[in-house]
Amino acid sequence: MVAIPEADAATGTETERLYDRGELSEAELAELMPGWRERYEQAQKPGFSYCIGHKNPGDTFASWIEGLAAQKALYRWAGIPVAIIRRWDAERRRSAKDVKSLAIRARCRSSTG
């Protein structure tokens, strides 16, 4: 379980809208990207879960979600634009494919040599 610090969800949503409209300057993007990337990578860890607070009225305990729902909740909270998430997802898939390809080649070389 990873505890996520408090944040203003409206700020994340507004930042995402500004990105989608192309209204963020290069300096603003340079400031936002490291935090977005950190949150994105955090959500990729095995067993990642996200606290949604009290799920039902009257609950006295916090509720946690896991998997894709937890990832999406964190991305939304952090205001990470969908276009950036898609780009980073594609990078992760390419990287995993490259690693698998290298492993196969290494096995082939070791079995022939």
User: What is 16-54 written as a DSSP string?
Assistant: HHHHHTT---HHHHHHHHHHHHHHHHHHHSTT-EEEEE-
For residue 9, is pLDDT > 70?
Answer: no
For residue range 30-41, list pLDDT tens digits in order. 999 999 999 999
Segment 49-57 mean pLDDT: 92
What residues does each domain of the chain span? 9-81
Tens of pLDDT, residues 19-32: 999 999 999 999 99
Return the pLDDT at 98. Answer: 66
**Averaged pLDDT, 61-67:** 94
Whether residue 2 is predicted with pLDDT greater than 50 in this model: the reply is no
Separation in Å, CA 71 to CA 21, 78, 96, 106: 24, 11, 19, 34
Query: Which residues contact residue 63 at a Cβ distance below 8 angstroms, ignoring those fewer than 6 apart?
Result: 51, 52, 53, 54, 55
pLDDT, position 96: 76
Has this prediction a pTM greater than 0.75?
no
Q: Is 5 helix (H, G, I), strand (E, B) or coil?
A: coil
pLDDT at res. 4: 47
Q: Give the whole-number percent of the chain exceeding pLDDT 90.
A: 62
Yes or no: say if 50 and 5 are a contact pair by the CB < 8 Å rule.
no
